[in-house]
Every structure is written in C-alpha cells, then in structure tokens.
Copies of this chain bind each other. A is one copy, B any other.
Amino acid sequence: MIDPTPAHHRAPHVHDDVDQRIDAALELLREDGGRVTTARRAIVTSLYRGQDHHVTAEDVAAAVQAQHPDVHLSTVYRTLDALERLAVVAKVDLGPGPAVYHLVDHVHHHLVCDRCGTVIEVPGKVIEPLAAALEARVGFVASPHRLTISGLCRSCR
C-alpha cells in the first residue's frame, strides 16, 4: 500500500523522517553487500509508507505493482527475507494463511481471534513481566516482535 496523500499535504517533518528511515534501510542492504534496485526501493518504500502494520508478501507485491507492474512476487519474498536478516522487518506466523511482515520498530504483539480472525495489537511492554519471568526461569529471551496469542476477542467471546 502506498500512501496516496500528496507530499505537500503531509507534515514536512513526517515526510522527512520516513524518507530517512527508508534510506537507512536501503543503506543497510548496501552495507550488507547487496544492491539497491528499483524493486527493492519500491518494496521498502511501500513498507514505510503503507498504512497497514501487517502486510503479507502478496500485499506488498500488489502495492508495488501499482507503480512497477513487473516486480515479481518472488522478488518480494526474497527482499523481505533480506530485510528480515537485517532486522528491518519481522516475519510473523499468525496461524494458517500467509505470514505477515511488519517493521521491527513497531514493537507489539498479536492477539489472534480463533473465531473471527481479527488481529489485535498490544504494545510490547505488556509482556515485559512475562518476558522477565521466562528469562529468569528458563533462560529464554523472548523476541520483542514475535508473540502470538490465540483466543477469543471481545465480540466473539
């Protein structure tokens, strides 16, 4: 999803900030020995400009293809993989169906409703006490982006 808002309708500092983060991500790819291509730039831009926190590879492909029709889904998968290795995005398996990706700087966890499939985000700090307990108890360090809890949401309860 590309933000359709024309640049001059957005607050300038927001624009600059997002641009900076896009450039930073691309720079990481380069530092890793990778190349920055049109496809990769479009994919990264879509991730930062999209309004959806959770996107599937297919979502990204669709958004990118609006401008660059021949960016292939497999390229999206490969780029997302690279970005995951560089800790720019996190990949989350929310049960059956495609995996979703989100930027790692959006620290949160996922409550997935078994009945309606709704995904509720909860702020990362909600699980801090649990994470501390797990670390003390079993020496397991929870990733700040990969907690998934199934259950029933308020309306399906």
Hey, which bits of chain A sit against chain B, CB under 8 A? 93, 95-96, 111, 113-114, 120, 122, 126-127, 129-130, 133-134, 137-143, 145-154, 157
Contacts and interface: CB of A to CB of B under 8 A. Distances in A.
A103 to B, nearest CB: 17
**Copy total for this chain:** 2
Contact of A129 (B122, B130, B146): B130
Most B CB within 10 A of own CB, among A96, A113, A134, A154: A134
Nearest to A138: B120
Contact of A153 (B93, B96, B139): B139
A147 B137 CA distance: 17
A115 to B, nearest CB: 11
Given A93-B96, A95-B93, A111-B140, A134 B149 contact: yes
Given A93-B96, A134-B111, A139 B157 contact: yes
